Amino acid sequence: MPSEKAFVFSVLLITNTKLMNTEALKTSLRDNPFTRWAMLLTVGFVLAANYYFYDALSPLKSTLTKEFGFTSTDFGLFVSVYSIPNVFFLMAVMGGIILDKLGIRRTGFMFIAFMTLGALVTAYGASDMYRNNGLGYAFMSSFMPGYSPELKMMLLGRFLFGLGAETSIVVISKIIVKWFKGKELALAFGVKLGLARTGSFLAFNLSPILIEAEAGWTVATWFAAFFVTSALLVFLIYMMFDLKLDRQVEHGGLLSKSEEFQFSDLTKLLMNRSFIYVTLLCLTFYSAVFPFLSFSADFFLNKFGMSIKESGFISSLLPVGTMIFTPLFGFFVDKYGKAASLMIYGSLILVTVHLIFAFTGLTPYVMMVILGVAFSLVPAAMWPSVAKMVDETRIGSAYGFMFSVQNLGLWAFPILAGVVLDGTNPEGTSQLDYTYTMLMFACLGVFGLLFALLLKREDKVSGYGLELPSNSK
């Protein structure tokens, strides 16, 4: 009898183990919530470094004027050169296509390496080492005497940084889709954006502190460059998990020959009205936010007579708001949908706040938090909506295309803002008047609102279900 029981027990154990093994085969790393979210934190660090560097010099506009004689137009040029590779060489589109073809690891490493190189070159261009006749100084002094050698080297660095930074955001967006599609996709996008903006928040608060370092103000630029370098190392950790996941799933995220990018895919995207409206909203909305943010610390400094630290802090309230609200709205979109409506509300708030900035002296503290709500509503709803319009195998190309179009605005509007500022303020003005610059940003917001309304109208016929919860599509 005991041996019979032992036999039955052994059969049960073997059957159970077999079942468990089959179950293990079905599940992969992405099905483990802990691993999934840990991966998000890892790539979130890379994004935070990227955003930190993008914003690190914004609170230092007046320092750049004092140290290198930068005009507002020079500063605008410095901000905008980030976008040149993405607009004129279509780097974000190419990067997206390369990503869909070569995969996440190789593309991610390559573009984060470019970003790192660009950050180091920018910091070098501002350093005493370079200014004391360092490598490249004589060459940079030998042409276009209207532009200082510091500005030229920093422009080169920012160009390389932009070349890597935008595609690396495309790569990370694809990573999020890879790990979270069919799960908490919008929430994950929200948290990803929140982490990215932690970088901006830190930049606006840390840079004004670091310029007071004993070793000199350039500690602020070197710190930013080393933050980006550490992100490259952190991405190596992500790559190990990505490889492991690819070994668990069939095709490893790479495209088969028949799935590879073809130009007809681009035409298909361009024929998709919802995609066109969301891309135009992306262009106008972000052009009213990022270039504004780059000038915002200087705006507060001039309009409200604040110190560099205080104005930097107020600018950082915008990313702070988004760190909290974007994940919340992402959760809302996952659960209740309404993505198209949220984009309309976000655009409406954006226009209102810019008009208030232009015409009133209302406290910027509250206004920046409200702008943070707008800057959470639109992105939290926009990016996961694209995943509903475009097949996952084309998502890299689609985000890349959107980023390239968006970069047209990130290139043009900082320059325009600088030109408008220099043009509407007589030379040597001690307090810059920002009214016209703010009006320009408000107009962009109005266009954004129009495209958001068109997108919602189109959703009724396209059937993408932008107003539906994430998992119902």
User: Of 119, 134, 139, 125, nearest to 68 (Cα)?
Assistant: 125
235 burial level (CB within 10 Å; 0-12, 13-18, 19+): buried
Output 245 or 342, the one with its CB closest to ligand LYPLPQDE: 342
Output 193 or 368, the one with its CB closest to ligand LYPLPQDE: 193
- Please, what is the minimum distance in Å from the beta carbon of residue 191 to ligand LYPLPQDE? 12
Cα distance between residue 50 and residue 197, in whole Å:
10
User: Under the rule (CB under 6 A), what is the footprint of ligand LYPLPQDE?
Assistant: 51, 54, 166, 169, 193, 196, 286, 290, 379, 403, 406
Residues whose CB is less than 8 angstroms from the CB of residue 469 and which lie 6 or more positions away in sequence, other chains included = 333, 334, 335, 336, 337
Residues whose CB is less than 8 angstroms from the CB of residue 192 and which lie 6 or more positions away in sequence, other chains included = 40, 43, 44, 47, 172, 173, 176
Return the number of other C-beta atoms located less than 10 Å from residue 99's C-beta: 28
Return the number of other C-beta atoms located less than 10 Å from residue 444's C-beta: 25
- Please, what is the minimum distance in Å from the beta carbon of residue 41 to ligand LYPLPQDE? 17
- Please, what is the minimum distance in Å from the beta carbon of residue 155 to ligand LYPLPQDE? 17
User: Of 127, 292, 297, 289, nearest to 204 (Cα)?
Assistant: 297
- Please, what is the minimum distance in Å from the beta carbon of residue 337 to ligand LYPLPQDE? 20
Output 272 or 406, the one with its CB closest to ligand LYPLPQDE: 406
- Please, what is the minimum distance in Å from the beta carbon of residue 401 to ligand LYPLPQDE? 12
- The per-residue DSSP string of 207-218 comes to HHHHTTSTT-TT
- Please, what is the minimum distance in Å from the beta carbon of residue 54 to ligand LYPLPQDE? 4
Q: What are the respective helix, strand and coil percentages of the chain, to the nearest 5? A: 85, 0, 15
Output 364 or 409, the one with its CB closest to ligand LYPLPQDE: 409
Output 303 or 394, the one with its CB closest to ligand LYPLPQDE: 394
- Please, what is the minimum distance in Å from the beta carbon of residue 196 to ligand LYPLPQDE? 6
Output 29 or 225, the one with its CB closest to ligand LYPLPQDE: 225
Total residue count of the chain as it appears in this document: 473
